[in-house]
Amino acid sequence: MEQKSIALDGPAGAGKSTLARRAAEHFGLIYVDTGALYRCIGLHALRNGINSSDEQGVAGLLHGISIEMKHDGDGLQRMLLCGEDVTDAIRSPESSKYASDVSPMPKVRDFLLSMQREMVVKYDAIMDGRDIGTVVLPNAGLKIFITADMEKRVQRRYLELKEKNSDTVLEEVREAMLLRDKKDRERTVAPLKAADDAVLLDTTLLNLDESFEALCEIISRRFGL
């Protein structure tokens, strides 16, 4: 089924997850947010008192970990870590930092690779992440790289976080995003980059509805829908 699946990559704040969720609903696909898998491992390490740079310590946790992904009626992806619903907990700034620190570790990436590939065996999916088109689904029927200028991405993430927590500070959001971007792009294992055959979608000058329309057009054109 991989040929009918869509790989959606790009940096944080480009609008990937919101757009992917809407597109999944529109085209009847399963939405898979792969960042949530890395976030679960980050949270598990954090809760077990493992330092986020301790590669051996994090690898040691992988044997006993259970991560499940469930989709509820409205297409929202819920994450279960060892049976507990951690959908909200994995979004905290501390958990985000841990996710970013554990995601370059080869053992973590290997561990999650088969899990991600298994998801497109049963269902046609739109899967978002950093290396979906380059590593996870190299034969995806469509690869899209969504991006936007850094400042625009900072503003979007700031507004999103501020809605949940009014104490959110713009400068801190900018600093965290700059750092995460740099790490995602410069890591040696599965760095963030567009696949050679990816279609580029720049959402800097587009609002959410316009971005969604542009995405739908790319998908419709490719699959003749």
In the region spanning residues 63 to 102, those forming contacts with ligand DC, defined by CB under 6 A, are 99-100
Candidates 21, 22, 44, 130: give the one binding ligand DC (CB under 6 A).
130
Whichever of 186 and 217 has its CB closer to ligand DC, that residue is: 186
Concatenating the DSSP letter of every residue in 154-181 gives HHHHHHHHHHH-TT--HHHHHHHHHHHH
Are 184 and 130 a contacting pair, CB within 8 Å? yes
Between residues 93 and 220, which has the closer beta carbon with respect to ligand DC? 93
Give the nearer residue to ligand DC in terms of CB position, either 88 or 217: 88
CA 130 from chain centre, in angstroms, equals: 7
How many residues bind ligand DC (CB under 6 A)? The answer is 13
Identify residues 201-220 at the interface with ligand DC (CB under 6 A). none
Helix, coil or strand: residue 183: helix
156 touching ligand DC, by CB under 6 A = no
- Cβ–Cβ < 8 Å for 154, 13: yes
Taking a C-beta distance cutoff of 8 angstroms, is the pair 202, 215 a contact? no
Tokens of 18: 């919101």
Give the dihedral sign, CA 25/26/28/30: negative
Q: How near is the Cβ of 99 to ligand DC at its closest, in Å? A: 4
End-to-end CA distance of the chain: 17
6-65 residues near ligand DC, rule: CB under 6 A: 12, 34-35, 38-39
Query: Based on CB atoms, which residue is closest to ligand DC, 175 or 217?
Result: 175
Task: Name which of 182 and 221 has its Cβ closer to ligand DC.
Answer: 182
Selected from 184, 201, 203, 212, the binder of ligand DC by CB under 6 A is 184
Nearer to ligand DC, 40 or 219 (CB): 40
Output 139 or 220, the one with its CB closest to ligand DC. 139
Structure tokens at 178: 């700059």
Residues 164-183 that bind ligand DC (CB under 6 A): 180
- DSSP-derived 3-state class of residue 66: coil
Select the residue interacting with ligand DC from 8, 105, 125, 131 (CB under 6 A). 131
Is the Cβ–Cβ distance between 99 and 35 less than 8 Å? yes
Least gap, CB of 106 to ligand DC (angstroms): 12
Instruction: Work out how close the CB of 187 gets to ligand DC at its nearest, in angstroms, rounded to a whole number.
Output: 8
**HSE on the CB side for 151, CA within 13 Å?**
1
Of the candidates 111, 121, 24, the one whose C-alpha atom is nearest the C-alpha of residue 67 is: 111
Which parts of this chain interact with ligand DC (CB under 6 A)?
12, 34-35, 38-39, 99-100, 103, 129-131, 180, 184
